[in-house]
Chains A and B, each alone.
Chain A
Amino acid sequence: MSPGPSRDAYGFQIQCDEGQSAARERCAQSSSKQATKWAKYAQKKSLPSGEKLKKLCRKGIPPEHRPWVWTELSGAKKRRSEHMASYYEAMVDMGESSSEFTHQIELDLARTFPGNAWVCTAEGRAALRRVLLAFSVQNPRIGYCQSMNFLAAALLLALDRSEEKAFWVLVCLIDDGGILYQDTYARDLTGAHVEMRSLEELVAAKLPNLHRHLQSIGCDMTIIGATDWILCLYTTSLPAETAMRVWDALLSEGTKILYRVALALLKTHEDRLLAQDNAGYVQREMKLASAGMHDRDALMKVAFDGVGSMPMARIDTIRVTKQADVEVELAKRSRNKQLREAVSMSERHAPFSSQGLSSLADKIKNAYAAQISRPIEHR
């Protein structure tokens, strides 16, 4: 193949070395083999069930079938059928007239995959805008979280640019009781913190050498870049065709796939990471390695066969502990913030000398401390 930048099936620029180009070709061949297996289901637009479905999804859904398969797997089709036909349009109207996130969403439109051939067009940005505005009013508690711009754009690309499909899959991922862990995108990212700490625990168990090394240089999962994995669901870290493979399995099996892929990335590049003795360099190395993961078959093979068993029950147990930790910390943080605000208010209003002021501040601090120390004592 000719060297230099070219574009993948989704309109992203890619620049591959020879090895990566060869891997892409191998993956394309295995993907066309998979396509023949999907043909009979595609004809009737009906999915097999159980293990059969899981296996098929693990091997990758042919891109041309993703629009209908993803909407089924995610529950989007069902969810949509439970609402009036014009629900999406209604949400768009409402979002356009009253979303409190209009400004933030608009700020991010042009900053979402600016190098993608379609997303950067007026049409692409308009579609992205509507999906995000609609979501922000459909779920006002979450509203708009940076990273959802990448999810919505990836969905539009995968789902034949159908805004309505993209919207419903986004809803099925994020809403309460959805596919992703609760409150991953909430206003303090509670769920994302829980996910990253839970991942840390699994890394400690499954890749103990690497974990020890990372700990010794103060590099936890957030620093290494798990925010991109947990919040952007790999759309900003892996090549698009690889990220879509992750989504095939994610929509079929749920969030444990996010853990499997994270562990697979860490395991595949363990040596590169061990060679870095600074958290920043580890992050950079991880980003580079992830961006070069054009061999999607290889990555998914490690994710499924190379990281050992991962029962959901175990993940759930870990999450419960981490959730409690995070809640306590966030609560403490917000109480401290209130306290500081109260003190600064008093400083603004009290016409005292600086000494009198600081003693007043102390009084307020003490009063607050007495008041708030009770609820956090159980820790």
Chain B
Amino acid sequence: MGDTGPIQQAKLVLLGDMGAGKSSLVLRFVKGQFFDYQESTIGAAFLTKTIPEKGVKFEIWDTAGQERYHSLAPMYYRGAAAAVVVFDITNAESFAKAKNWVKELQRQGNPNMIMALAGNKADLAAQRSVTADEAKAYADENSLFFWETSAKTNVNVAEVFNDIAERLPRAAAALPQQPTGGITLTEPAPEQKKKSSCCSTA
């Protein structure tokens, strides 16, 4: 996309187990910052970042990781153009949870959603309990693209988002912008449900 093209807005959601590093990845990507102790996210945080070279403005929802917040997640991934599912390579349980998220998105999310799997904390490779091969094989089976990332040492963070930006359907950029939720991509017709349906099964 040249600098003359319109900036395409894309809603992106981060999902994954608590402490996997979702907020840290976003903060690294959006602000270039990293904190050893990132405050736990309750509900969700919203951040934006434009990648001018790609003509994309990401509208990012960074969600809470604890299992019981799961019932809130559909509100954030509904209509999302992309998702980054994050796990911690030193924690096998977090990889299992990541797979569950992928399954849920495949079933309930936008069918054209672009999904990335991020194995975070690559700087702690010495303590790894999920191998890159294992994660890569899973990602290939499920047509996700996969990166091992480190928010701390800034490894492959931009790559994840750039990859997504490149795969966003170009045609959508030409569509007029919708005022709602910044979702301009291939969103299925909104359900005619009244009001909030935070626990809805969609």
Contact = CB atoms under 8 A, between A and B. Distances in A.
Q: Are A and B part of the same complex?
A: yes
Interface of A: 104, 107-108, 110-114, 120, 145-147, 149-150, 185-189, 193, 196-197, 200, 215-218, 220-223, 225-228, 231-232, 236, 277-281, 283-284, 326, 329-330, 332-333, 336, 340
B46 A333 contact: no
B75 A111 contact: no
Contacts of A340: 107
A6 B149 CA distance: 35
Nearest to A120: B37
Nearest to A111: B40
Contacts of A146: 18, 40, 42, 64-66, 68-69
Interface stretch (B111-119, B128-136, B177-185): B177-185
A329 B72 CA distance: 12
A114 B200 contact: no
A213 to B, nearest CB: 11
A217 B181 CA distance: 6
A187 B68 contact: yes
B38 interface: yes
A327 B69 CA distance: 16
A149 B42 CA distance: 11
Given A107-B18, A196-B196, 10 more contacts: A111-B37, A111-B38, A114-B38, A215-B195, A223-B76, A227-B43, A280-B48, A329-B199, A330-B199, A333-B200
Contacts of B200: 329, 333
Contacts of A326: 199
A108 B27 CA distance: 18
Nearest to B64: A146
Contacts of B59: 278, 280
Given A112-B39, A189-B71, A200 B195 contact: yes
Contact of B43 (A187, A228, A284): A228
28 contacts: A107-B18, A107-B19, A111-B37, A112-B40, A145-B68, A146-B40, A147-B42, A186-B68, A187-B67, A188-B70, A189-B69, A200-B195, A215-B195, A217-B180, A218-B190, A220-B196, A223-B76, A227-B42, A227-B43, A231-B42, A278-B59, A278-B181, A279-B180, A280-B46, A280-B59, A283-B44, A333-B200, A336-B201
Nearest to A204: B195
Contacts of A329: 197-201
Contact of B179 (A186, A217, A221, A232): A217
Contact of A188 (B35, B68, B75): B68
A280 B61 contact: yes
Contacts of A120: 37
A333 B196 contact: no
A228 B42 contact: yes
Contacts of B70: 188
B72 A108 contact: no
Interface band, chain B: 35 or more
A281 B61 CA distance: 11
A113 B190 CA distance: 38
Contacts of B19: 107-108, 111
Contacts of A200: 195-196
Interface of B: 18-19, 35-40, 42-44, 46, 48, 59, 61, 64-72, 75-76, 107, 179-182, 190, 195-201
Contact of B181 (A215, A218, A227): A218
Contacts of A218: 180-181, 190
A19 B193 CA distance: 44
Interface centre among A223, A232, A281 (most CB of B within 10 A): A223
Interface centre among B42, B61, B65 (most CB of A within 10 A): B42
B198 A220 contact: yes
A376 B118 CA distance: 39
A237 B113 CA distance: 32
Contacts of B42: 146-147, 150, 227-228, 231-232, 236
Interface centre among B39, B44, B107 (most CB of A within 10 A): B39
Nearest to B190: A218
Given A187-B68, A340-B107, A108 B40 contact: yes
Nearest to A327: B199
A94 B136 CA distance: 41
Given A145-B66, A222-B198, A330-B199, A193 B39 contact: no
Given A278-B59, A329-B199, A336-B201, A188 B181 contact: no
Nearest to B79: A218
A221 B37 contact: no
A277 B178 CA distance: 10
A216 B181 CA distance: 10
Contacts of A189: 68-69, 71-72
Nearest to B19: A107
Nearest to B76: A223
6 shortest interchain CB distances as A-B pairs? A227-B43, A329-B199, A220-B196, A114-B37, A280-B46, A110-B37
Contact of B182 (A113, A147, A278): A278
B68 A222 contact: no
Contacts of A280: 46, 48, 59, 61, 181-182
Contacts of A332: 201
